[in-house]
């Protein structure tokens, strides 16, 4: 079992996607249990993988027993075992949550929704575990195609937003594919481990430089790094609630993971840091992303759209950690990937529940929501405070490491950017909190008259899990770094 | 100079096609033209990959009398791997095209036009 767990995490959702379509044809309500079974078994498989990696080290799984570099190889080390575990956990949690929201928003499309959901999960797991460049492209497109379709079934503006995402996403994926092609010309290999052995001799070659540039631009498009983020706010705002709650935490973070993988595993760190000025470009772009995202978020009235700009800013935090590129900052960046998955899931799930109950996302209509949905609003506030960076919630710790890393690298502007954006985030979330909790009651009406109308248990329970995750990740962040993340940083940094 | 261009003409064509595709994807207002641009862009990449596999005087990568006594002369065969990669990429591109066309149909049903600026006007 433990031998095959990396491949099982990918294959089970893939097979169940077809089963969901087949059985959904017969009985519509079978899709939800099939999805849950598939996602929980991949979650167990990825936990098993994580456990094996922590106890025995890197797993190499040769598909069909073809030896690399000819066959496709799945390589799971500390970095992707962690990302796999976190992402499979969130996909499962959002899957549990999806039932009521999908029944309300997409009553006729339940079967297709769950089929695409499972395909998206397959794509994301595949991107994370694979050790082969071309295989990664295929999984990237599986995940993106499922994502396009899921976004397009949303509200009024969704098809156009999704169409723009298709165009931008295809350019990104094609650039990635071109990068793979250039590396293949230079080395004749597609295997990541093989490439990292062969490439150091070729670092002067212009072909390799072009390949690296193609990778960076393509992945910046996929992970929505400023100024290539333009598709993200529209697409995630108009998507169905569950879809935003699924895509916002996972898709961009997986893009960030691939970027780290290519910069520090396929290419050696000294190439990415000193031979090519990519880290400083990345750092400045990320700083711009943080400020732009936070300021644009301030201008939004729609809560979900505000959160979309927060996602742009959060990508900036990861980018800034990679851009500073010392050990502490990289720990911060990887920790932020983990934390951000939970924080964004919490916030977008809360928006989904609010839409489910009151049908609007306008912040100024949230008056007295704390009387109506006390638990849900408390959980939302916990997620918001974590994004602001209040200890002991997890958002504080990754920002702490990022700031420490910037101190060590003497990059004072980045320290300032992170601090300023934390203040902006505080304004953002306190604006929501003020509208919900602190507005005075209308004349002649007391707060006690408003009846409690809490979201259903299938929505509350996932939210509780996510918020528990936010708190636990914060409290045990030191332990996570000691056991996993410190081995994920390449030793030469 | 002229020789330099002429001897690698397939790569020049790939770059020209790619730029045409990129222009159509970004510059055109009609959604179908954008999709056509996307397809040209992707086809250019196929041309690039296939060009890298070609060899002068190379033949099909099918080995006669396999498990044989004589060693395989890699230089006399066309490299099969880029072809295989492109078969997979074609599948991906066809599905992208399918999804894009489906989305365009949804847009047309909702707004009754395919011009991007008209749709944006309608949304206001």
- pLDDT at position A241 over 90: no
Span A4-15, mean pLDDT?
A: 89
- pLDDT at position A157 over 70: yes
DSSP classification of residue B44:
H
- pLDDT at position A443 over 70: no
Distance CA A322, CA A333 (A): 6
Neighbours of A88 (CB within 10 A): 28
Query: Is B42 within 8 Å of A170 when comparing Cβ atoms?
Result: yes
Domain presence at residue B60: no
Query: Is A166 within 8 Å of B96 when comparing Cβ atoms?
Result: yes
- Chain A environment of B102 (Cβ under 8 Å): 149, 152
- Chain B environment of A141 (Cβ under 8 Å): 92, 95-96
CB contact, 8 Å: B42 with chain A? yes
Domain presence at residue B89: yes
Mean pLDDT (chain A) is 87
Query: Is B110 within 8 Å of A159 when comparing Cβ atoms?
Result: yes
Query: Is B88 within 8 Å of A134 when comparing Cβ atoms?
Result: yes
Domain presence at residue B35: yes
CB contact, 8 Å: A127 with chain B? no
Closest CA to A146 of A166, A130, A129, A175: A166
Q: Give the pLDDT band (50/70/90) at residue A447.
A: low
Task: Report yes or no on whether pTM surpasses 0.90.
Answer: yes
- pLDDT at position A334 over 80: yes
Which residues in chain B (8-37) have CB-CB distances under 8 A to chain A?
Answer: 22, 25, 31, 34
Query: Is B52 within 8 Å of A178 when comparing Cβ atoms?
Result: no
Domain presence at residue B62: no
Interface predicted TM-score (ipTM) of this complex, two decimals:
0.92
Say how many CB pairs under 8 Å bridge A and B. Answer: 71
- pLDDT at position A439 over 80: no
CATH number at residue B37: 1.10.287.3510
Distance CA B52, CA B58 (A): 13
The per-residue pLDDT for range A286-325, each reduced to its tens digit, is 999 999 999 988 888 888 889 999 999 999 999 998 888 8
Distance CA B114, CA A405 (A): 49
Q: Give the pLDDT band (50/70/90) at residue A452.
A: confident
Q: Give the pLDDT band (50/70/90) at residue A482.
A: confident
CB contact, 8 Å: A392 with chain B? no
Max mean pLDDT among A18-22, A192-196, A379-383, B98-102 falls in B98-102
Residue B66: predicted pLDDT: 64
- pLDDT at position A125 over 90: yes
The per-residue pLDDT for range A396-420, each reduced to its tens digit, is 888 889 999 888 888 888 899 989 9
- Chain B environment of A149 (Cβ under 8 Å): 99, 102
Span A214-230, mean pLDDT?
A: 88
What's the total number of domains in chain B? 1
CB contact, 8 Å: B50 with chain A? no
Distance CA A1, CA A296 (A): 48
Q: Give the pLDDT band (50/70/90) at residue A446.
A: low
Q: Give the pLDDT band (50/70/90) at residue A60.
A: confident
Domain presence at residue B64: no
The per-residue pLDDT for range B73-95, each reduced to its tens digit, is 777 788 888 888 999 999 999 99
Residue A445: predicted pLDDT: 62
Residues spanned by the domain of B104: 2-54+76-123
Q: Give the pLDDT band (50/70/90) at residue A442.
A: low
3-state secondary structure at position A315: helix
Closest CB to A181: pick one of B41, B52, B123: B52
CA quadruple A22, A25, A28, A29: dihedral sign: negative
- pLDDT at position A33 over 60: yes
- pLDDT at position A1 over 60: no
Question: 3-state SS of A152-164?
Answer: HCCCCCHHHHHHH
Asked if the peptide bond before residue A236 counts as cis, ω within 30 degrees of 0, the response is: no
- Chain B environment of A170 (Cβ under 8 Å): 25, 38, 41-42, 96
3-state secondary structure at position A36: helix
Neighbours of A248 (CB within 10 A): 27
Residue B17: predicted pLDDT: 92
Distance CA A247, CA A149 (A): 12
Query: Is B34 within 8 Å of A167 when comparing Cβ atoms?
Result: yes
The per-residue pLDDT for range B29-64, each reduced to its tens digit, is 899 999 999 999 999 999 999 988 888 777 787 776
Neighbours of A406 (CB within 10 A): 27
């Amino acid at each position: 079992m433990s031998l095959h767990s990396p491949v099982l995490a990918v294959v089970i959702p893939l097979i169940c996607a077809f089963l969901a379509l087949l059985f959904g044809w017969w009985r519509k309500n079978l899709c939800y249990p099939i999805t849950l079974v598939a996602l929980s078994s991949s979650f167990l498989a990825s936990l098993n993988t994580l456990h094996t990696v922590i106890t025995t080290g890197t797993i190499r799984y040769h598909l069909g027993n073809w030896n690399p570099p000819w066959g496709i190889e799945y390589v799971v080390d500390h970095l992707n075992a962690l990302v796999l575990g976190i992402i499979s956990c969130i996909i499962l949690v959002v899957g549990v949550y999806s039932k009521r929201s999908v029944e309300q928003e997409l009553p006729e499309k339940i079967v297709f929704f769950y089929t695409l959901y499972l395909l998206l999960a397959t794509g994301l797991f595949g991107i994370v575990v694979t050790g082969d460049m071309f295989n990664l492209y295929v999984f990237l497109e599986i995940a993106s195609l499922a994502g396009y379709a899921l976004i397009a079934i949303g509200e009024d503006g969704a098809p156009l937003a999704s169409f723009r995402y298709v165009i931008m996403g295809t350019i990104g994926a094609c650039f990635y594919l071109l990068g793979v092609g250039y590396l293949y010309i230079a080395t004749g290999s597609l295997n990541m481990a093989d490439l990292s052995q062969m490439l150091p001799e070729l670092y002067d070659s212009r072909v390799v430089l072009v390949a690296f540039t193609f990778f960076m631009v393509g992945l910046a498009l996929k992970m929505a790094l400023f100024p290539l983020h333009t598709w993200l706010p529209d697409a995630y705002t108009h998507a169905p609630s569950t879809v935003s709650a699924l895509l916002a935490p996972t898709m961009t973070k997986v893009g960030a993971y691939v970027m780290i993988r290519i910069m520090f595993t396929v290419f050696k760190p000294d190439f990415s840091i000193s031979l090519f000025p990519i880290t400083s470009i990345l750092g400045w772009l990320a700083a711009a992303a943080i400020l732009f995202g936070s300021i644009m978020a301030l201008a939004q009235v729609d809560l979900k759209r505000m959160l979309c700009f927060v996602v742009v800013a959060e990508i900036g935090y990861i980018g800034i950690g990679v851009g500073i590129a010392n050990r502490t900052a990289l720990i911060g960046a990887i920790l932020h990937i983990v934390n951000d998955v939970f924080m964004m899931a919490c916030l977008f799930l809360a928006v989904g529940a609010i839409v489910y109950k009151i049908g609007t996302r306008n912040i100024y209509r949230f008056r007295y929501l704390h009387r109506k949905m006390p638990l849900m609003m408390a959980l939302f506030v916990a997620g918001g405070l974590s994004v602001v960076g209040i200890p002991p919630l997890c958002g504080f710790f990754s920002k702490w490491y990022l700031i420490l890393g910037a101190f060590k690298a003497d990059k004072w502007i980045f320290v300032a950017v992170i601090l300023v954006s934390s203040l902006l985030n505080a304004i953002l979330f306190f604006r929501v909190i003020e509208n919900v909790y602190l507005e005075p009651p209308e004349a002649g009406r007391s707060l006690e008259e408003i009846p409690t109308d809490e979201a259903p248990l299938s929505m509350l329970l996932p939210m509780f899990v996510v918020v528990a995750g936010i708190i636990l990740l914060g409290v045990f962040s030191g332990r996570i770094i000691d056991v996993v993340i410190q081995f994920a940083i390449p030793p030469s940094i | 100079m002229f020789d330099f261009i002429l001897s690698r003409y397939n790569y020049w064509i790939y770059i020209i096609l790619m730029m045409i595709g990129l222009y159509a994807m970004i510059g055109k207002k009609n959604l179908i033209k954008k999709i056509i641009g996307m397809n040209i862009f992707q086809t250019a990449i196929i041309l690039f990959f296939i060009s890298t596999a070609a060899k002068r005087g190379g033949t099909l990568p099918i080995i006669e009398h396999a498990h044989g006594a004589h060693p395989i002369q890699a230089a006399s065969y066309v490299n099969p791997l880029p072809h295989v990669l492109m078969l997979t990429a074609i599948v991906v591109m066809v599905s992208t095209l399918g999804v894009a066309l489906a989305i365009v149909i949804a847009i047309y049903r909702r707004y009754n036009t395919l011009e991007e600026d008209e749709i944006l006007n309608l949304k206001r």
